[in-house]
Amino acid sequence: MAAIWGTNYAVVKQTLREMLPLTFNAVRFSLASVFLFFALRLSEGGFLLDRKDLKGILILGVIGHTLYQLLFILGIDKTTASLSALMLATSPLFVVLIDLLMRVEKPSGRLVLGILLSLAGVFMLMVGSHSDLAPYEGQIIGSALVLAGSVCWATYTVLSKPYLLRYSPLRFTATTMTLGTIILDLLAIPSLLAQEWQAIGLEGWIGLAYSLGLAVVLGYVIWEIGVQKVGPGRTAIYQNLIPVIATLVSWLWLGETIGGAQIVGAVMVFLGIYLARRS
C-alpha cells in the first residue's frame, strides 16, 4: 500500500495537468466503485448490510470518500507533492488523538513514541529533498486543505474499526466508497461538463488507470485489512512510509540524489514503525 500510494503522488500531480481535479476524482472513484461492486457481488453476494449500520456507514462514506477526497485533490492541486506528503503524515497522530477521544483503541506509550519519531523522520525527508517548502499563499491554502483531509482520513480510519469486526474489508470499502462517490459525483458535475476530454493524452489516461486501479481499489482494501487485523494506530503509521517510497522512486527512476538528512529521516521512519509494531 505504501509503495502504491508513494508513487501515486507523482502520478496525480502529472495527471492533474490534463484533467480538472474534481473530474479526475469523480471518474476514478466512479469506476473504482463499479469494480468493487462487481468484485463484492461475485465473492460475497452484494452489499447485504444490517439496517442498523446504514446510517453510520453512510456517514463514514461521506467523511472518508467525499470530504477526504475533495480536500486531498484540491489541496494537492494547490501545493507541492512534498508538502502534501508532510501534511498527510500527521494522520497517525490524529488517529491516536481520536482514539483517545472515542476510546476505540487505547494507544500505548510506545505507539505514540513511534508515531512521533516517524513524523519527525518524514520532516527530515522533506527538508533533505531540497524541495520548495517556502510558504506562499497558494501553498498555505493547499497545505491547510490537505491537513483537514488528514483529519478526515484519521476519523474514517478510527471509526471504521467496529464495522470491520462485522464486515469484510471488501464489503466495507465497496459500500462506503459507493455511498461517498455518489455525493462526490454530484459535486463534480460542473467540472465534468467543463473538462476538455480531447485534451487528455495517453499519459493522462495511464495516470488515471494507475490511480483508480492500484491507489484506490487495491490500496483502500489493503488499508481496511490493516485496520481490521492490527488496529487503526498501527495501520496509520505505515502511511509515513509513503514519503520514503517517493524518495526512493525518485532516486531509482529520475536520478535524483539522496542526501544524509534523507537517509536519517528514512531510518527514523523505519524505527518509528518498528516501535509501533512492538507496542
Q: pLDDT tens digit string along 221-257?
A: 999 999 999 888 788 888 878 777 877 776 676 565 6
Residue 84 grid cell: 502534501
Asked if the model's pLDDT at residue 2 lies above 90, the reply is: no
Asked if the model's pLDDT at residue 70 lies above 90, the reply is: yes
Residue 271 backbone phi and psi in degrees, to 5: -65, -40
Radius of gyration of the chain (CA): 18
224-263 burial by CB neighbour count: b if 16+ within 10 A, else e?
A: bbbbbeebbbbbbbbbbbbbbbbbbbbeeeeeeeeeebbe
Nearest to 120 by CA among 144, 78, 92: 92
**Structure confidence at residue 66 (pLDDT):** 95
Residue 114 CA neighbour count, 13 Å, CB half: 26
Asked if the model's pLDDT at residue 15 lies above 80, the reply is: yes
Instruction: Compute the distance between CA of residue 145 and CA of residue 156 in angstroms, rounded to an integer.
Output: 17
**Structure confidence at residue 95 (pLDDT):** 83
Averaged over 184-210, what is the pLDDT? 94
Max mean pLDDT range (101-105, 114-118, 171-175): 171-175
**Structure confidence at residue 126 (pLDDT):** 65
Asked if the model's pLDDT at residue 50 lies above 90, the reply is: no
Percent of residues, the chain, with pLDDT higher than 90 = 42
